[in-house]
Amino acid sequence: MSAKSKGISAERELIHRFWQTNTWTACRVAGSGSMKYPSPDILAQSESRQLAIECKACKDDNQYFDAEEIEQLKQFATIAGCEAWVAVRFSREDWRFLPLEKIPTTKTNYVVSRVFAREQGLQFDSLAQTKHL
């Protein structure tokens, strides 16, 4: 399975999780990251919240995000009036969600480690049950 296929599969898995709550809708934004307009991987919405989510599934202990990727997510969320989140799933672990302001930076990237995600990231149920952050 190609890296692109794995990413799409991970995004779809997360979309199903939102729909299974019966209080959230979610959809995948096809072509996110490959067009000139900023767009997240997933848009999710409940009665009281709208989320723009950049998703990554990885097998390493660190997941890096390009500064441009995060900047586009911020720009989209600002224009759309929604919350910007990063969702990371490390191998054999569940999804963790981090607001952009919590993500550590290096000189050129943003990085989320497996340990940081466990300690600082919200689990899916916590994110989905919160009224507004």
| Residue 34, CA distances (Å) to 31, 37, 72, 126 in order | 5, 9, 11, 31
Under the banding of pLDDT at 50, 70 and 90, the label for residue 3 is low
Per-residue pLDDT tens over the stretch 11-70: 999 999 999 999 999 999 976 666 788 999 999 999 999 999 999 999 999 999 999 899
Distance of CA 69 to the CA centre of its chain: 11
Q: How far apart are CA 61 and CA 112, in angstroms?
A: 9
For the domain spanning 3-129, the CATH number is: 3.40.1350.10
Residues involved in catalysis = 32
Q: Where are the domains of the chain?
A: 3-129
Q: How far apart are CA 3 and CA 62, in angstroms?
A: 16
